[in-house]
Structure 1
Amino acid sequence: MTIQAELDRARKYERQGRAELAATAYSRIAGALEARADWAAATAVRARHARALLDAGRTEEALRVLAGADRAAAGLAPHETGVRAVLDGQAAHVLAGAGRAGEARARALAAMGGFRAAGDHGRADRAALLAARLAVKELGHRAAVPALRELLASVGPDGDAHRRVAALLAEAERRPDRDHDVLVTDPDTAAWGRLAAALAVGAHLAVSNGAAWNLLDGRDEDPGEVRERLAASWDVTGEAGWREQIDLLLGAGNSDPAVQAVLDRRAGGADEYAWQEAIAVWCGEKGLSAETTTALIGLSTRILRYEARFRKDGLLAPGERVSSVFGYDFGRAVNMARWGLNAGYCDTETATECVLRAGRLAHRFYGSWAEFSAGYTLGRMLRFDDGEFGEWYDRSLIAHRVLTDDPGSPWRMLAWG
């Protein structure tokens, strides 16, 4: 088989997502080219070898291969700008995958310049788009605006790269100058499909934390900080504790069961007094004390206060009520799955299964994103706000409005159920 035929097969493996086979093929081809002393071609293939290793999850090995390719490139003739551009482009992907966004952006910019000098404007524009994404990742949206403007001016005005860099710039310019209470969508991850729809069930908390709602692995958050948060807020320090919490959330068992018990006593058209009477009758049937009965009736009064405020602020439409607070647990289950994967307490398959299950449960209990949001928010308020309508309420309302009003919100783009 010729070198070209082997290269074609390796690229086919890449397109099929068979990274291990692609890495093996590129390694073999690079070795053959090195044996012929064809250093320019070998360097370009080693760059692709490094990228395939990264895609196969072998990051450290990818970095070693990349370092070797960089050393080999130092001896290339000055006119080999195209080879250097290929190396820089692949290096940008490898370094980004290794979490070295600043170095990756520098290599993407070098690739853009190299391809432009070689007259390959299509690949130059693609490198510019990669540099734009890396600028956002490295600097944050607001700080990346100058770099994005410069990159936009460097790409052809009619191509896909120009449109996508322009979209990144528009997103950065409209983004509030804060790192919380904002909608973040990772541009390199699908924002549609079954998994995305389930991840969107966790978007309330993602917006509050300024995290990308559509990232399963939560790689935009530092794993060490995630582990600290899990330990401090959830008493989760390992796989067993994580499993216990995710099971509780998926079983709607993390919140106070009294809330749902009270909601379940409210008949379709029951007014406040009929509802309280139904609660009292139920308590009598269960043999509950007078003190408990009074507390549960008081809980119904708190719920009515929140619902009235929800209608005033647009969380509920006129005449609507909350039927379930299970959504609060399901929404947190999505984030617990993401945090568990990020912290190393579960694998991708387990996290995916948990997220999809949380999505199915939310769709079973609610009929729309708005219904889900109201249930989620009521559950959160009864847990933390204690009727104060303070910061907990204000931030939950912000998240609701972002998710229901922002044109880029998954709740605007993805159908419920």
Structure 2
Amino acid sequence: MNQNAIEQYLQSLKAMGLSDEAIAMYRQQMEQSMQLSSQWASQLNQFGQNIQQFNAMFTGDNSDDNAPADAQTLLLNPDSTLTPEEQWAIACGADLALLNGQYLNDLTTGFTKQECRELLSEWWDIDSKEEVLDMINWLFQEGHRIQYDIIWQAMNAVSIKESKAFLREHVVANQMEEEAAMQRLRNMRDAIELFQQHELIGKGTQPEMLIWDYARIINLSRGSFDAGYLSREEALDIILRCVEPIRKMYTSWKQLSVSYQFARCVWNGVDEDIFEDMMAGMEVLLTDPNSPWVKMPW
């Protein structure tokens, strides 16, 4: 079972585009870790941490079930000097900023330079301005939304066999990538059932994936500003580039938030406890009088 867990993790790394060299390094580290301990519980705990680090690097949050009780507290910087337009752009990443305990109305996250550098390195594998710009460019040009659209098409195939055939043709190059893509497909089906059950989407509705990539662009730019990798002007310029596509794609803060939460379930899997936390956070953002979403109508 432990070996299967390692292979599942490595398949996810491969599907997300990591190099063969990086995957080989992860394999060696995990096998060494498991050799050092003969206790199954310790091994499983280490594997769970590795999965969390992987998800955090590609989703921009750590999906921590043990987040502090005040994780949904609105944090606002009273000294913010952003214009209304700039604050509106920052607010488009509020789902993720709220989850991470960051300011909702300023370019700065509220974290220290060292904290941001450590988080960027741990969550995004970013340690320089060049790596920041490479990641942001990838998120603008491709991100996860292209594969999301293909998986959506595969999901609407008549049978699982046809879905697999469609994914093999358009997404996967080998068995490892196929398993990762099929897991996303299963996640999407679970998410659709859950979101329809809670009347967040209608039958046949496809939540748009754009905000999944663009919210991460916004928050990655903010963290990179605090880390000293981007100037204030550079970070705001990148963030403001997100505004027009987001306005064209969505018609309300709620639609934007539902789409973000749906995409998060597709990539991280459906967990009902985490889902409830996500919905509670969305409700706070949509109703709290101090929320940027309430103060700045769509």
User: So what's the TM-score if we normalise by structure 1?
Assistant: 0.48
> Alignment partner for residue 188 of structure 1, among 79, 90, 96?
79
1:236 and 2:126 matched: yes
Return the offset for 1:295.
Answer: 7.6
- Larger gyration radius, structure 1 or structure 2: 1
Q: Which moves more between the two structures, 297-306 or 401-410?
A: 297-306
Cα distance in 2 for partners of 1:308, 1:394 equals 15
Per-residue Cα deviation, 1:332-353 (whole angstroms, up to 9, x for no partner): 1111111111110011111011
Residue 342 of structure 1 corresponds to 226
Shift, 1:402, TM fit? 1.5
Contact 1:262 1:296 in 2 (8 A): yes
Any conservation in 1 of the 2:151–2:167 contact (CA below 8 Å)?
Answer: no
How far does the alpha carbon of each residue in 1:55-114 deviate from its partner, in whole angstroms, 9 at most, with x for none? xxxxxxxxxxxxxxxxxxxxxxxxxxxxxxxxxxxxxxxxxxxxxxxxxxxxxxxxxxxx
Corresponding residue SS for 2:77:
coil
- The alignment partner of 1:383 has SS state of helix
2:285 paired residue among 403, 406, 413? 403
CA deviation after TM superposition for structure 1 residue 411, in Å: 2.0
8 Å contact from structure 1 (residues 322, 374) kept in 2: no
State the secondary structure of the residue aligned to 1:360: helix
Q: CA RMSD in A?
A: 3.4
Q: Partners in 1 of 2:280 and 2:167 — Cα distance?
A: 37
Aligned to 2:37: none
Q: Structure 2 residue aligned with 1:309, among 188, 194, 197?
A: 194
Instruction: Quickly say closer, same or farther: Cα 1:284–1:390, change in 2 above 3 A.
Output: same
Offset at residue 380 of structure 1 (A)? 1.7
- Flag as ranges the 4+ runs of structure 1 deviating above 6 A: 275-278, 287-295
Distance in 1, matches of 2:124 and 2:198, equals 31
* Closer, same or farther: CA 351–227 of 1 in aligned 2, 3 Å: same
In structure 2, the residue matched to 1:258 is: 147
CA gap of 1:179–1:238, structure 2 versus 1, over 3 A, is farther
The answer to whether the 8 Å contact 2:209/2:260 transfers is yes
1:200 matches 2:84 = no
The match for 1:389 is 272
- Cα shift at 1:377: 1.3
Report SS of the residue matched to 1:205.
helix
1:346-400 CA deviation, whole Å, 9 max, x = no partner?
111110111111222322332322222122112222222x233343x34322322
Provide the residue aligned with 2:294 in structure 1.
412
**Residues 185, 191 of structure 1: 8 Å contact kept:** no
Q: Quote the residue 2:114 is aligned against.
A: 224
For residues 287 and 209 of structure 1, the distance between their equivalents in structure 2, rounded to whole angstroms, comes to 31
Amino acid at match of 1:202: G
1:18-45 Cα deviation digits (max 9, x unpaired):
xxxxxxxxxxxxxxxxxxxxxxxxxxxx
Q: Distance in 1 between matches of 2:214 and 2:293?
A: 16
1:245 match: 135
How far 1:234 sits from its partner (Å)?
0.9
> Contact between 1:263 and 1:323, CA under 8 Å: does it hold in 2?
no
**For this pair of structures, how many residues does the alignment match?**
230
Q: Report if the CA contact (8 A) 2:80-2:105 is conserved.
A: yes
Q: What CA deviation, in whole Å up to 9, does each residue of 1:196-229 have, x standing for no partner?
A: 11101111111112221111133x2111111110
Change (3 A) 1:250 1:289: closer
| Unpaired stretches in structure 2, ≥5 consecutive residues | 1-67
Specify the code of the residue in structure 2 equivalent to 1:246.
I
- C-alpha contact (below 8 Å) 2:145/2:213 kept by paired residues: no
The aligned residue for residue 376 of structure 1 is 260
Distance 2:234 2:138 in 1: 15
Give the direction of change, closer, same or farther, for the CA distance of 1:300–1:284 in structure 2 (3 Å limit): closer
SS at match of 2:242: helix
Q: Deviations over 1:178-209 (max 9, x none)?
A: 54222222223267621111101111111112
How far is the alpha carbon of 1:281 from its aligned partner? 8.1
Q: Deviations over 1:209-256 (max 9, x none)?
A: 2221111133x2111111110111111111111111222222342x37
Equivalents in 1 of 2:168, 2:126: separation in Å?
A: 39
Q: Note the residue ranges of structure 1 that are not aligned, 5 or more in a row.
A: 1-176, 267-271
Q: 1:263 to 1:349 in 2, by over 3 A?
A: same
Q: Which residue of 2 aligns with 1:131?
A: none
